[in-house]
Each structure stands twice: as structure tokens, then as C-alpha cells.
Amino acid sequence: MSHNVRVRFAPSPTGPLHIGGVRTALYNYLFAKKHDGTFILRIEDTDQNRYVPGAENYIIEALNWCGIPFDEGPGKDGGYGPYRQSERKDKYFAFAKKLIDSGDAYYAFDTAEALDNHRKEHEEKGKTFIYNWHNRNKLDNSLVLTAEEVESRIAAGEDYVIRFKSPQDETLDLYDLIRGDMEIDTNILDDKVLYKADGMPTYHLANIVDDHLMEITHVIRGEEWLPSLALHVLLYRAFSWEAPKFAHLPLIMKPAGKGKLSKRDGEKMGFPVFPLLWKDPNTGGISQGYREDGYLPEAVVNMLAFLGWNPGTEKEIYTLDELITDFDLEKVHKAGAKFDPEKTKWFQQQHLQQSSDEEITKEFTKVLHKHGVDEKQSYIHKVVTLLKERAVFVEDLWQLGDYFFERPTTYDEKAVKKAWKDETPEILTQLSGVIAKIDDFSAENASNTVKTWIQEQELGFGKVMQPLRIALVGSMQGPDVFEIASTIGKESTLERLRFAIEKL
Ligand code: GLU
């Protein structure tokens, strides 16, 4: 098996890709890579009414950003293309026709109006109208019409659909890699439309035909498709095709309460539910994205991998390669996975700490440019090493350490009230004299010199160090004050002391 694994991610381009969709793509990717298989992107765009321009590009960009690019798909032909269903339109009718010829499907002429009336009549009697075995022989279809009638109505241009003829009185055994064995009574199934009046296949037909033609071995998709499994298995049987294996992934649930995680949850609680920022082409409305919010793709991927799966060990921080090794479809949970925005931040913080100082320096340089700061890489690198452990996002480094790049212009009031005493200007003036004489201005040497001086003068550390920090930083924050002094340099340190003495 392991050579021929072919899986597909098959989104419909109806808007930005929800993180639930990204997780589906990720699990497909991990499974494919684990088995040296092929990860395919197929765009399911048969429903032209729901097509949203830009959505396909968004999907591709999101996969690339996450580091899980497809092997085959639009623009990357692997011999099974085209990969957009709208470009495969001409393939589907012949398959629908095949099922008609084998007696597994039939033409139905019932108008929307007629079906509506049936529905209403049923509702009035407290029943639900289902188009299937128990009434299909009373409706307007080729099961009751003669072959000539059917032919002439089609020739006359009447609208028709092709419906699947679900079997009666059968118990169907279904198997899912995550959920195990399931039984379905076929009497509850309706005769789903396979081919529509507009000359397009429905999702069900196109999906099965394409999975077959693309030689898909495993269908890994969201739980919302579980109710379609019986029909899909029946379609494979009707075509006498070998069905792929199925795995239906658990839903991603709201952080609190019941139900699926929605866009609204994110808006209410201020976290993104999309990988990338999305601008709605119709309304112009903006939805937050993980990328633009400063998350590392590694963190997002790690977080998503754990929404519905874990290795059964204590290990939580994973690289993509490690995920490929440890991921196991059969260990995916059945129960819905609660989305946790705080945990997502934790993954981000952990992955940022794991990033190399060089990478962070590169990203932080961009942030600095946005703030109009241009500095030497070695200097920025030094700042990164001092501040990194306090940061969750690269952007945080600016709030944490803007004073490394510009002299504080304001001073934290509370800190000043607490630490700036009448004698402070005098002490700092003396301190400046001590500092001015230090030749080796390394953090260590500066620290030793100043501390010795404090002890000799019997001044008390707080009286010197706190005002010094206020002068350099503007507040009581930051790493070791001598690291700061040494980094900004002797001249800047003295200048900041002068400025603070004058200002405060
Ligand atoms: N087009 C379906 C979707 O949008 C694909 C479902 C499947 O993977 O079969 O999710």
C-alpha cells in the first residue's frame, strides 16, 4: 500500500478557507508524506452560484504558507488533471448515464414547484417528504414513464435531473478508519440528485467520479460528510469500482459551549479562524488571519495537528517532519475537538522560542523598518537575544524593547514616583562620572564597577539601579540593566542619564 497512497483535499472555493479546512488538508498531507504518497488539491467548483473569486488563490496560498503544498493540483499536473471540476464538466454525464443504463439511477422531471407542494402536503400531516423507495413510483420519473415518453420529454427540452435509486430494505455495513464499523438502514436514504438540470453534476457524483479517476486511495475529510458515506459507498458499488478507505475527522468546536467553531466566535473573542487575512470581494469586510496576526506557520500547524489527534505521549511541540513521523490516522479522535485560543498562543510562544535568533532577527528587522528604525544586524541580533524569551510574537519585541532603538521620551509615572527621590539627580551625576571612566563597557565589567562603587559609597542598590533603569528604559521593565547599558553603549547611557536628570 505504502507506494500508492493518493489522497486529496477537495475544497469548494466559496470563501476563505476556515482553519477546520486547513486541518483537513494538514491531515491529508501528513498521511500522504508518512506513506510516501501523493497529496492532491482538487477544486470542487461545480456549484457556480457559490463561487467566490479569489478563494482558490487563497486556498493555495494558505497551504503554501503552512508549508504543506500539494503535489498535484491546479498548475501542477500529475497526469490526472484537470484538477478543477468546472474544467472536467464534460466527463460526468457519461457516468450518470451508465447508472441509468444499469438501473441504479433514473431521470426525474418533477418541477421545483411540484416538489415544494409535496413537501408542504407532508408537513401539514406532520410528515417529512423524502424522495425515495416509498414514493418514487408515484412521482414524475423514468421509473413510471415509458422509454418513449422519457425520450420525447427530453427531446422537447424539458428540465430533468438524474437521481440515484437507493436500495430498499438493506443493511449496509460501512467502515471508517477513525470510527470503525457502522450500520445503515438503506430505507432512510433519499434518492439524491446526481446530475442537475443545469448540466452540472452534483457534489456526490463529481466527487466519486473524480476520486475514482484520480485513483484516490484514502478519503480524509470532515465529519460533516459522514452522512454522505452510505451514498458514496453505494455509488462505488453501482459502478463496480473499488471504494477508497474513508476517515471522517472530528468537528472543531467552540472554545466555550456547544457547536462548531464559527467565524463569529473568532470575531467575538478576538482570534482568527482563518489562516490568512481575507478581504471579502463583495462586502469589503476583513477577516483576521493567523499570518497577519504574527503567528508562525509552524505554530499554527502544530496547534491544528493537535485538534483531534495527539501522540499519546507528553510531547506537544512538534515540527512538521516530526508530525509526519508520529501522525497516525487511526489515533485521531472521534469526539469533537475544542478550539483553545490560549493554547494557540502557547504554541506560538513555544515555536518562537525554538526559532533561531537569526530568523527572529530577520523578522524583527522588518518590524523595525515599519517603525522607521534602521540598525545594524549585529545590534538587532543582540537585542533579540536579550528579549526573545519574553516575546510571544516577533512584534512584541518592539513593545518590549523600543528603548534599544530610541531614547525614552516619557517616563512611567508610577515608577518615577516610587524610585526618583530628591537625592537622585546628585547620585546619577556621580554615577555618570563613574561610568565615564569605564573603558571596557561590557555588561559584566560595567556591572562590577558600578556595584563596587555603590558598596563603597554605601548608597544601597535600589537607589542607584532603579533610577538608572528609569533613565535608560523609561520604566521599570526590561532585562538586566547593565546588559541594556552595554548594548546601547557608554555614550548613549551617559546621554540618557543627562537627559533624565534634566527632565525629571
Ligand atoms: N467539496 C467538499 C468540501 O467542500 C469535499 C468533501 C470531500 O472531501 O469529499 O468540503
129 close to ligand 1 (CB < 6 Angstrom)? no
CB 411 within 8 A of CB 503: yes
- Give me the percent of the chain exceeding a pLDDT of 90: 94
Is 221 close to ligand 1, i.e. is its CB under 6 Å away? yes
Mean pLDDT of 109-125: 96
- Residue 82: asked if its preceding bond is cis (omega within 30°), the reply is yes
> What is the number of the ligand 1 atom nearest to the C-alpha of 10?
5
The per-residue pLDDT for 198 is 86
Contact in structure between 45 and 86 (CB atoms under 8 Å): yes
Q: Which three cell numbers stand for residue 276?
A: 490568512
271 within 8 A of 294, measured Cβ to Cβ: no
Spacing, Cα 11 to ligand 1 middle (Å): 5
Question: pLDDT value at position 136?
Answer: 96
Model confidence pLDDT, tens digit, residues 364-421: 999 999 999 999 999 999 999 999 999 999 999 999 999 999 999 899 999 999 999 9
Q: How many CB atoms lie within 10 A of CB 407?
A: 14
Q: How far apart are CA 360 and CA 353, in angstroms?
A: 9
**Alpha helical stretches, state H, 254-376:** 263-269, 297-305, 320-326, 341-354, 357-370
Mutate to test the pocket of ligand 1, among 8, 41, 44 (most ligand atoms within 8 A of CB): 44
- What value does the mean pLDDT take over residues 1-21? 89
Q: How confident is the model at residue 1 (pLDDT cuts 50, 70, 90)?
A: very low
pLDDT of residue 402: 97
Nearest C-alpha to atom 3 of ligand 1 is from which residue?
11
Which residue in the list 76, 245, 263, 451 is annotated as catalytic? 263
Q: Is the pLDDT of residue 3 over 80?
A: no
Shortest-distance atom of ligand 1 to CA 24: 8
pLDDT at 2 over 70: no
Report pLDDT for 40: 98
Cβ neighbours, 10 Å, residue 157:
7
With beta carbons less than 8 A apart as the criterion, state whether 361 and 384 touch: yes
Residue 263 annotated in active site: yes
Among 145-149, 213-217, 258-262, 411-415, the minimum mean pLDDT is found in 258-262
Burial class of residue 174 (count of CB atoms within 10 Å of its CB; 0-12, 13-18, 19+): middle
Nearest ligand 1 atom to alpha carbon 14:
4
If one residue of 8, 12, 252 were mutated to test the ligand 1 pocket, choosing by the most ligand atoms within 8 A of its CB, it would be 12
- 9 has pLDDT over 60: yes
For helices 229-239 and 89-101, the axis angle rounded to 10 degrees is: 70
